[in-house]
Homo-oligomer: A and B are copies of this chain.
Amino acid sequence: LGLLAETGLVFISDSRTNAGIDDVGTYTKMFSFGVSKERTIVILTSGNLSITQAVLSLVEEDIDNAAPESLHSLPTMYAIARYLGKKNREIMALDKDILSCSNIAYDCRLIVGGQIKGHEPALYLIYAEGNSIRATPETPFLQIGETKYGKTILDRAFRFDTGLDSAARCAIISMDATMRSNLSVGPPIDIAVYYKDSFELRHKRRFPERAPFLIKFRRQWEQELQEVVTRMPMVPWDE
């Protein structure tokens, strides 16, 4: 999940991968890149692990080789979204047909967000096919992976003008709702906040399942929700 706010960006991801319910693994899905005081970029991944790892390998190679096109050299976030789409298409050309033969979908969606000096922060979702869409003040968040459980709180409580502290809390509520209701989403949780014009990822943390903060957060959220329910208007049966 990526959130675009007036004052910056919030990123959150879980770490569960699974091939069926009896083959569960832990891999981070958040990757950060940057050039100090010049650009900060965060990538989130979803879909088939072999594909997302392959895409990330190409991205890292280009940085290591100081390629003409890389996350460290491309001039805009749009160019970076296009570039990631191209990498996705390269892996698709290698793997899609043979995966199809085994009835495995070519499944890879990325979120990329960040800021390059001289430009506003931006947030993109890149589809498996390599095309992309961009978050706007009107629709200021993008989700990949298991999106439905976590969407309702964002529709109600997150807007472009929400402060980053509350945006981070919305992100945790959204992710925690998804973990609670769907076994394919699981801890540790990675969360990062980028403050506009800082050109560094000042706030980044990983919370394991039993992190005291997460336990306290969950308990309070559940209690607050139960209390809100009791304050809601009664159904007017007799009107």
Q: Which residues of A contact B (CB under 8 A)?
A: 148-149, 151-153, 155-157, 165-166, 168-170, 172-173, 177, 180-181, 191, 193, 202-203, 205, 213, 216-217, 220-222, 224-226, 228-237, 239
Decide: A232 and B221 in contact? CB cutoff 8 A: yes
Copies in the complex: 2
Distance, CA A220 to CA B236, complexed state (A) = 16
Decide: B180 and A152 in contact? CB cutoff 8 A: yes
Q: A235 with B169: in contact, given A157-B225, A228-B221, A229-B157 (CB under 8 Å)?
A: yes
Nearest B residue to A205, CB-CB: B237
Decide: A181 and B148 in contact? CB cutoff 8 A: yes
Nearest B residue to A165, CB-CB: B234
Decide: A226 and B157 in contact? CB cutoff 8 A: yes
- Give A5 Cβ to nearest chain B Cβ, in Å: 13
Decide: B221 and A169 in contact? CB cutoff 8 A: no
Find A231's partner among B193, B216, B224, B229 (CB 8 Å cutoff). Answer: B224
Chain B residues, Cβ within 8 Å of A217: 232-233
Distance, CA A153 to CA B155, complexed state (A) = 14
- Give A46 Cβ to nearest chain B Cβ, in Å: 16
- Give A139 Cβ to nearest chain B Cβ, in Å: 13
Find A232's partner among B173, B193, B228, B230 (CB 8 Å cutoff). Answer: B173
Chain B residues, Cβ within 8 Å of A225: 153, 156-157, 228
Distance, CA A81 to CA B217, complexed state (A) = 40
Name which of A168, A181, A220 has the most chain B CB atoms within 10 A of its CB: A181
Taking A151-B181, A155-B181 as given, write out 17 further A-B residue pairs in contact, using a Cβ cutoff of 8 Å, ordered by the A residue number. A149-B151, A152-B152, A152-B177, A155-B177, A156-B221, A157-B229, A168-B235, A169-B229, A169-B232, A170-B229, A191-B235, A217-B232, A224-B228, A224-B231, A224-B232, A225-B228, A228-B228
Q: A235 with B153: in contact, given A228-B224, A230-B166 (CB under 8 Å)?
A: no
Decide: A222 and B156 in contact? CB cutoff 8 A: yes
Distance, CA A149 to CA B165, complexed state (A) = 25
For the complex of A and B, list the 3 residue pairs with the smallest distance between their C-beta atoms, beginning with the closest: A148-B148, A152-B177, A224-B228
